[in-house]
Structure 1
């Protein structure tokens, strides 16, 4: 854990992730106005009264941004969790069992892999008129598991016949115990990485669906903010404050997940830890040699 916190990229990712998480949690405290209140002067630039200006409909952009963070992050984290759980169950257990179970679930995974995910999400969402956040969570979660399941299955196959697994079998451990206590700890970085990128994919998918108007655009989220700013011609009218905050937030939150993933790789991968240690030793030697000169 100490190595994780020493990694500059991981620390940067944690700071950005914590920042947006606190915004989402403290939304009722941070916002002076109701995000749907449209009694203000439309398209007002940022000021002391409206920190991020107002929308074309006379709503406070900062209030929408803060409450939108709560909606978008909740959708992303829940959908990422659902897709990760499905990836673990469908990829690891059949891969460990082998036989007919592995063949069936591997075929199902391959079918989902060849189906384009975004068009599939669009088709499903188009049949659910005015889809709310919970519908979007399950649609994204149930369609985003195949890639992670494929990777986890391949890694499970490499562990299935190793010596420590054979020793656990001889010791009388059940299949479930071997999976949970022997295989999962060795694959923790892959599982966490799958969750992080599943969360990022869910946030991007939600923003894409809302931008296309396939969700419930009356619910405030970063995606619906993009939808209304595009529909209201924010770019044409030069109202950058209506368009920029939510787009920048999505990019920064995605970057935070990627940066934290670098730190997790350092924590769980001995080869990366040794490379980092060698680079640190090399820097110390160069400093010492420069000092002697």
Structure 2
């Protein structure tokens, strides 16, 4: 873990991604300090230009755009982190268990993964979200987890297969350790970078997909997050009426959060691929 932290600290992509992620985490933790107010509160005037009282102006309903953007960081991060974490846990359970146990369990779990992989993801998640439209955020998370775990399971299975017959695992078997102990304490620590990269990829998929569904009106439009802000901005023709910030700022926040996860994902992909590290060192030495 210490080596991993040192490697992250020396990676520019990881640092940039962490800084962006920390900014949004701060917005999610203390929104009332950064932008005090109720995102549902309606002011006297609608579609106001930026001013001292409303730095990003107001929506077509007279709500403060800055307050909605800051308070919208919490549900956006909640969807990304929780859905990404649950999808990663499911990927680990299916992929690593199938690879380590082999035989019948590998056949069954691998068949399940293949079936989910060949199902078109976007139509499936749209159907699930449409059927449960305007329900709680938990339904959105479930839909994202159901459609987002299979690709990671396939990657983790391949990695676990390459490690299954290594000497340190054979030594653990000879000591008489249980399979659960070997998987958790011997196998998974050697797959840390891939598991973290899988989580970041799942979080990226979750925030982009959830925002797209909310923009289409397939989420709970009565909540205040970046996706529903885009929905209402489009619904009220914000760009045509000159309320550019109402649509641009939440869209920019979604793009930045996605960029943060993508940068961290690429960084951990480099950390997990030893062939990339010496290439960078050779280029630096040549320079």
User: Which TM class, normalised by the smaller chain length?
Assistant: over 0.9
In structure 2, runs of 5+ residues without a counterpart are none
After TM superposition, the runs of 4+ consecutive aligned structure 1 residues lying more than 6 A away are: none
Per-residue displacement from partner, 1:223-274 (whole Å, max 9, x unpaired)? Answer: 1001000001012223211111111111111111122233334444433333
TM-aligned CA deviation for residue 213 of structure 1: 0.9
1:173-252 equivalent positions in 2, closer than 5 A: 173-252=177-256
- 2:178 & 2:150 partners in 1: Cα distance? 27
- C-alpha distance 76-258 of structure 1, shift in aligned 2 (>3 A): same
Partner of 1:69: 73
1:28 and 2:32 are equivalent in the alignment: yes
Q: TM-score, normalised to structure 2's length?
A: 0.94
Partner of 1:45: 49
CA contact (8 A) 2:193 2:268 kept: yes
Partner of 1:286: none
Per mean C-alpha deviation after superposition, the further-off stretch among 248-257 and 78-87 is 248-257
In structure 1, runs of 5+ residues without a counterpart are 284-293
Partner of 1:125: 129
Per-residue displacement from partner, 1:179-224 (whole Å, max 9, x unpaired)? Answer: 1222212211111111111111111111111111111100001110
- 2:285 & 2:44 partners in 1: Cα distance? 60
1:87-106 equivalent positions in 2, closer than 5 A: 87-106=91-110
- Aligned to 1:90, the other structure's residue is in SS state helix
- 1:173 & 1:272 partners in 2: Cα distance? 35
Partner of 2:146: 142
Per mean C-alpha deviation after superposition, the further-off stretch among 219-228 and 129-138 is 129-138
- 1:160 & 1:3 partners in 2: Cα distance? 26
Partner of 2:21: 17
Partner of 2:10: 6
CA contact (8 A) 2:18 2:260 kept: yes
CA contact (8 A) 2:194 2:268 kept: no
- 1:168 & 1:235 partners in 2: Cα distance? 63
Per mean C-alpha deviation after superposition, the further-off stretch among 1-10 and 85-94 is 1-10
TM-aligned CA deviation for residue 37 of structure 1: 0.8
Per mean C-alpha deviation after superposition, the further-off stretch among 237-246 and 173-182 is 173-182
- 2:115 & 2:278 partners in 1: Cα distance? 39
Q: How many residues align?
A: 283
Q: How much is the aligned-residue C-alpha RMSD, in angstroms?
A: 1.5
- 1:40 & 1:172 partners in 2: Cα distance? 73
